[in-house]
Every structure is written in C-alpha cells, then in structure tokens.
Amino acid sequence: MTPPEEQGQILGIAGSCSALARIAGPTWAGVSFIKFGISAPFLSGTLVMIVALTLSLRVTKSTSESKTERVA
C-alpha cells in the first residue's frame, strides 16, 4: 500500500508509536487499576482498540478509493 519512497518514514512512525505504547500502556493500566478498579484497564483497552480499528478501516477505505480514482 505504501509507495517504496515512503516506506522508511512509515516504519519510523510505526516504531515510534510502538515504543510510546510500551511506555504509556502499562502506566495507564496501573493508574486506571488503582483509581477505577480491576476492569478499568480492560475497558479502556477495548475502547482504544475500537478507535484504532475504526481509524484503520477509514484510512484503508479512503486509500482504496483514491487508487480507484487514479486508475479510472
């Protein structure tokens, strides 16, 4: 999906997001567990995953539509 000239940039962004998630995820899970109870980390993780899924589906759809417009 990504053009070869942009692959390095995308991999860098993905690596940065992964590192941020490894720092922020456990921190948020601990804080939410202490403040809101045992199910809070799981519920907040579910919400984050739903948002991520929605965004990825939207980006994938717009990307495939733009490729169709270029071909047509």
pLDDT in tens, 16-58: 999 999 999 999 999 999 999 999 999 999 999 999 999 999 8
pTM for the predicted model, two decimal places: 0.66
Q: What does the angle CA 53 – CA 57 – CA 43 come to, to the nearest 5 degrees?
A: 15
Q: How many CB atoms lie within 10 A of CB 58?
A: 10
By C-alpha distance, which of 27, 26, 1, 28 is closest to 14?
1
Show the domain range for 48.
4-71
Residue 38 φ/ψ, nearest 5 degrees: -65, -30
d(CA 1, CA 7): 9
In the chain, the number of structural domains is 1
